[in-house]
Amino acid sequence: MKRIVFFVFAAMLPVLSQGQATTTIKDLMQKARQGDTLACYQLGKAYLDMKVYEQAIGWLTRYEEMQSADECYQDTSSLCKKELACMELAGCYLERMKEFNKGNDSIYFGIEENPEAGYAKDRKKLIGWLTEAGKLGNAEAIKSLEALGVDVEEALLDEKAEFPQDVSNIHPGESRDPEYLFLRHIAMNLRYPQPAREQGIQGEVIVSFVVEADGTITNVQVEKGIGGGCDEEAVRVIKSMPKWKPAVKNGVAIPFKKSVPINFRLQ
């Protein structure tokens, strides 16, 4: 409990102790509550500078929600307002992650019971905002996504190619998550080849395929094989899939190449 009180007080202290700056914050707060978008942005930046992350995220999120992707600054900045908001929000989560890496896990105290979980959520949020900025053409965001190990080509799609959810043999209460259904299809249809079983062959086969604009599966190829009939079985299972929901970019369905590891393990 003592740490909670200290955390809240420490978060408020910069605002309460800045004299003239306090008036500025109050003025901005009043303007922001009256719908002034620039005031929302300025508040977010001010709180970010003071490392009061929850307040910064709150005001920058409000600012982002007020923007549309085609609104641009009228001054010297060429950044779209929404793009700028996305980058600033990414900055908030990146700064919190940096604080965590410095050993200052109190930034998550009261927000997450487990600081590691807070860090993981911040990384997910960071990637999410960078992705939004990347879709708006921000080169810095795209470079940052690449540095984080994100598949940028797939991330910047309007909609990802997905295994269909409307399969007939899902049990009541079972997940309809496309990734789960995809893995479920593989597990239910994969047969361990007898030659591989007899030779004790096991391992990972990587198969690539293309989801066409109409959802059909084509160009199924083994990128990494292990032999013993496992490669052929992996290809057979992928070819047995129903039509997928295709990838969409700029509002148009497009062909998209994917790859998947299929594991063969002897029991």
pLDDT, position 68: 62
**How would DSSP label each residue in the chain?**
-HHHHHHHHHHHHHHHT-THHHHHHHHHHHHHHTT-HHHHHHHHHHHHHTT-HHHHHHHHHHHHHT--TT-B-SSS--SBHHHHHHHHHHHHHHHHHHHHHTT-GGGGTTT-SSHHHHHHHHHHHHHHHHHHHHHTT-HHHHHHHHHTT--HHHHTSSB--B--S--TTPPTT----HHHHHHHHHHHH----HHHHHHT--EEEEEEEEE-TTS-EEEEEEEE---TTHHHHHHHHHHT--PPBPEEETTEEE-EEEEEEEEE---
pLDDT, position 169: 66
Instruction: Name the residue with higher pLDDT: 7 or 23.
Output: 23
Interval 226-236: pLDDT, tens: 999 999 999 99
* Percent of all residues in the chain with a pLDDT value above 70, rounded to a whole number: 84
pTM for this model (two decimals): 0.67
Interval 153-182: pLDDT, tens: 889 999 999 998 765 566 767 787 888 889
pLDDT, position 76: 41
Interval 9-22: pLDDT, tens: 233 334 434 444 45
pLDDT, position 10: 34
Q: Residue 198's closest CA among 230, 231, 158, 176?
A: 230
**Confidence class for position 7, pLDDT limits 50, 70, 90:** very low
Instruction: Name the residue with higher pLDDT: 18 or 86.
Output: 86
pLDDT, position 2: 30
